[in-house]
Amino acid sequence: MNRFEESYKCDSSPQIISFDVTGSCNYKCLHCYNDSGKKLTNELTNEEVIDIALQIRDMKPFSVCLCGGEPTLRSNYIDVIKILAETAGNVNMVSNGSFIDYQVACELKAAGLKTLQISLDGYCSMQHDTLRSVKGAFDKALNAIRGSVEAGLNVATSCTPSKLNYKTIKQYIALCEDLGVNSARFMPLIPMGRGSRIDFLLLSPLEYMELQMDILSAQREQKKNTSSFYVEWGDPLDHYTRMPTNAKLGMCSYTMEIKANGNLTVSTYLPIVIGNVRKHSLQEYWDAGAKHIWSNKKVTDYISRIENIYDINQLEPRPYTGDYYYIDII
């Protein structure tokens, strides 16, 4: 039994931790679900980020992901990776790639980073640069991917299908395979943050069906060859049903979400705050009830109103509008 499997029976600490090290981002992506851009009000200092990294290290999680914002804008993010890599089974980072080249990728590898996910929203600059709202973003992403592959990192791409790119998914997958990445991941456009203001780019149910058929076709092709490259479809709302079901079966939660202002949230996609690391330690929150948060009636009542991604905009409070639903567990 590995450490992740043990987490279903052992509730001593979370096994998957997502840590937004900054809310700052140098891009203004049209579809950004958390409306990244400016530094958050009351954002964690470098010293506080290091302290949190040390707390995470002591919890010995199976996997930690550095997110944002753009995590490379946090000046000491390399130091954070080094600390996390001391005990975490996998240290991952999500980036737009704008500040990553071969030399930086080598530093990431040496620090202990295992997987780097680069956002790549199309097989050409028109598609990617339009969604990222930055001319030249596509070329920078490709440069980051090539440099990271050469440095020996596990590299994944993340693509948000929209009306701009869904008809060229086969070309996109071919590009990713040629680049030598380990995987190409597709995530639906979530109508949250800036993503709630671009209905004209959202796929219709029929278009989603067409997209998923192309992805399934690509997955079948991958099974036929010996390449380690694979294609996956991510469902960001899957945990809305999976986690409460696990809780009913007596399993504890195995995840923890830490925001750049220190807030602890139930999920990246839910505006439910259960505490702040400036008040108590991560372990104190975990022991006080974070490990059983998916059996909390306030949480289950909130998510019971969500059946698909389009329902998110009907919620009160709506995610990433600055309003939060507070559940004080300590």
Segment 166-178 mean pLDDT? 95
- When mean pLDDT is compared across 79-83, 239-243, 259-263, the lowest value belongs to 239-243
CB-based contacts of 213-221 (< 8 A; 24+ apart in sequence): 214/169, 214/170, 215/169, 215/186, 218/169, 218/170, 218/173
Read off the pLDDT band of 322 (50, 70, 90).
low
**1, pLDDT greater than 70:** no
Q: What is the DSSP string of 98-131?
A: TT--HHHHHHHHHHT--EEEEE---SSHHHHHHH
- When mean pLDDT is compared across 76-90, 215-229, 295-309, 311-325, the lowest value belongs to 311-325
Q: Which residues pair with 255 in a beta bridge?
A: 16
> What pLDDT does 239 receive?
80
pLDDT tens digits, residue range 27-81?
A: 999 999 888 888 888 999 999 999 999 999 999 999 999 999 999 999 999 999 9
Rounded to the nearest integer, the mean pLDDT of the chain is: 90
> What pLDDT does 8 receive?
47
**89, pLDDT greater than 50:** yes
Q: Confirm whether pTM is higher than 0.75.
A: yes
Residues 146-163: b if buried by 16+ CB within 10 A, e if exposed:
bbbbebebbbbbbbbbbe
Read off the pLDDT band of 319 (50, 70, 90).
low
Task: Tell me the C-alpha to C-alpha distance, in Å, between residue 62 and each of 114, 185, 242, 254, 286.
Answer: 12, 21, 19, 10, 16
Read off the pLDDT band of 226 (50, 70, 90).
low
Sheet holding 183-186, edge to edge: 230-233, 183-186, 154-159, 115-119, 90-95, 63-67, 16-20, 255-258, 263-265, 272-276, 325-326
